[in-house]
Amino acid sequence: MNYDEYREFTSLVRQRDIVFYYFGYFSQSIISAMAESVRLQLEKSDAAPSKRRKIFSSFVEMAQNITHYSLDSLTPTEQRDEQLRQGSVCIGRDGDHYFLLCANPIAVDNVELLRQKVEPLGTMSVDEIKRLYRESLREETPEGSKGGGLGFLTLARDASSPLEFSFAPCGRTDAVMFFIKATI
């Protein structure tokens, strides 16, 4: 990259009001470092403390989903300690709202499972989402879940509009790209 390309890139970032962007491999230690950067950026912003908490929480959920479910991995799936999995996460501003975007490849076999988890959240009220969140806290971790099964509920609970998501071909027969967007 030369200086002109760098200037063009930074100009685009400013025009789109991007607060944070990362593409690469995610692990718990990398997420911790990124989270500290995001926290500091948010503290400098004019966002209300409750909005900063929601943005931060949503960022962590999205990043953790990448470490749990991205198909692109530098570490074997059976390895229990530090997983390194590829994806991207972006935080930006659009007027008074912030948006968080996340993308990572997932197994084709997981498309319907994800659709069944995320799609119903778009038709639920905030109170219904909060009730389901509280109920999920009391339940056992769902089979096949590497977290507590609360990630999408957390995103939907904190979002100011329904979550947006899509799946797109990524040039592999065993995978598709999973995109999710939360607006806060």
What is the domain partition of the chain in residue ranges?
3-183
Class of domain 3-183: alpha beta
Percent of the chain with pLDDT over 90: 74
pLDDT attached to residue 114: 92
- Structure tokens that stand for 16 in this block: 């789109």
> What's the CA gap between 55 and 151, in Å, rounded?
13
CA-based torsion, 70, 12, 182, 43: positive or negative: positive
pLDDT of 1-11, one tens digit each?
788 998 998 89
Percent of the chain with pLDDT over 70: 92
CA-based torsion, 103, 32, 159, 114: positive or negative: positive
- Terminal CA-CA length for the chain: 34
Question: How many residues in total does the chain contain?
Answer: 184
pLDDT of 84-118, one tens digit each?
999 999 999 999 999 999 999 999 999 999 999 99
Residue whose token pair is 């962007």 = 21
